[in-house]
Amino acid sequence: MTAVNGAAGITTLPYVAWAEPQDERQIVVSTRLRLARNLTGKPFPNRLSDAEAEQLGREMAEALPQGEGWQVLRLDELLERERGVLLEKHLLSRDILQHTRGRLLAVNTAQTLAIMLNEEDHLRIQAILPGLQPEAAWRELSALDDQLAAKLDFAYDGRLGYLTACPSNLGTGLRASVMLHLSGLQLLGKLDGIFRQLAQAGFTVRGVYGEGSESRGGLFQISNQVTLGCSEEEIISRLRELVEEIITQEQQARDWLKTNRRDWLEDKIGRAVGVLAGAHLLTGKEAMEQISWVRLGVAMGLCDKIDWRELNLLMLSVQTPFLLTTAGRELAPQERDALRAKIARQYMAQ
């Protein structure tokens, strides 16, 4: 399999499948499911030399389903900003970027399926879809898992399930997560209580970029913690139940704000639109904050200057790796802020 780096704009353009509108409630951004799989009889990636990792990576890439337009990217051959773009698109993890020799990323044409090769586990297979679609994502993911399992011998134990480099992923190897925009609950200071309840239910809350990252733009990721002792369907239906409950609470928070703080809310949203449409210098942090206000406005029917899809693409476009890609060179901090503001103005003027 030949590696075609950057074809079809995977590592350059802000387009991703999960940017599409899917749920009219406009609270859930995306659903991402991943499976951890390893090969029988091979040391886990952390015990492989670079040469061994490269060899094994090639062998695993051979097992990709044929004729489905898979692109295989060698991470060590990508520019740093291209790797950053893939991270912003949630097609790869921060961890795999710590050591890129012998590390590969396979992505399908639709950018809904991605396989990290030689991350913590030999294979990290993921499906990412817009909105709240854990069942559909599982169907796609499980089918891809089956296709790979027909060619690769996955390490498995009848009692422990799929064997993983870290025992925290044992069993199903499934981490199911949903990214939500919870600015209503955030504004009312209700998040801590909800996150505590989630923890009791065996689910964790993280920022947008996974483990150890903080929240930006009012976006949070909720995912299961326990992977052993329950079926994939149980994990998925439990996740859906919890997310539906949180959506209801977020809607109640928004209704309360609309009823009791309407002027204040419309002022915040209107000012955010003003900043994005008129600013000439915009830091990354401020851009995310203003985008969060506009997102709330769009979802609540209080802003029609931009739609959900464009807002997602704007959010991606103002991230540093995309700015560097647009400029085609390194940028000083103030140059970045100027370009970020320019892109925001263009999006808001459409």
Partner 1 sequence: MLCDKCGKNPATVYYKQVINGELTEQHLCEECAGDLMNFGGLGSFGQLDLNKLFSGAVQQESGRRCPGCGMTFAEYNSGGRLGCSRCYQAFEAELRPVIQRFHGGKRHMGKVKLIRPGGGGSVFMNNPELANQNYERLALQKQLSELIELEKFEEAAKVRDKIRALDKAMQSAAAKAQSDQTGKAGDVR
Site residues (vs partner 1, CB under 8 A):
38, 40-44, 46-47, 120, 142, 145-146, 149-150, 153-163, 165-168, 170-172, 174, 226-232, 234
Cα distance between residue 120 and residue 46, in whole Å? 7
Kind plus residue range of the DSSP H or E element containing 154: none
CB of 59 to partner 1, least distance (A): 15
Q: State which residue, 150 or 332, has the beta carbon closest to partner 1.
A: 150
Could you give the dihedral angle defined by the CA atoms of residues 259, 260, 261 and 265, in that order, rounded to the nearest 10 degrees?
Answer: -20
Sign of CA dihedral 128, 131, 134, 139: negative
Q: State which residue, 202 or 278, has the beta carbon closest to partner 1.
A: 202
CB of 111 to partner 1, least distance (A): 25
Q: State which residue, 163 or 257, has the beta carbon closest to partner 1.
A: 163
Q: State which residue, 46 or 248, has the beta carbon closest to partner 1.
A: 46
CB of 224 to partner 1, least distance (A): 11
Q: State which residue, 14 or 171, has the beta carbon closest to partner 1.
A: 171
Contacts of 45 (CB under 8 A, 6+ apart): 53, 102, 103, 118, 119, 120, 121, 122, 165
3-state SS assignment for residue 175: strand
Give residue for tokens 């802020």: 337
Longest CA–CA span in the chain (Å) reads 64
CB of 166 to partner 1, least distance (A): 6
CB of 235 to partner 1, least distance (A): 8
> Based on the number of CB atoms within 10 Å of its own CB, is 40 exposed (0-12), middle (13-18) or buried (19 or more)?
exposed
Q: State which residue, 57 or 171, has the beta carbon closest to partner 1.
A: 171
Cα distance between residue 11 and residue 48, in whole Å? 27
| 320, amino acid identity | T
CB of 162 to partner 1, least distance (A): 7
CB of 172 to partner 1, least distance (A): 4
Q: State which residue, 204 or 326, has the beta carbon closest to partner 1.
A: 204
Cα distance between residue 6 and residue 212, in whole Å? 28
Give residue for tokens 């094994």: 56
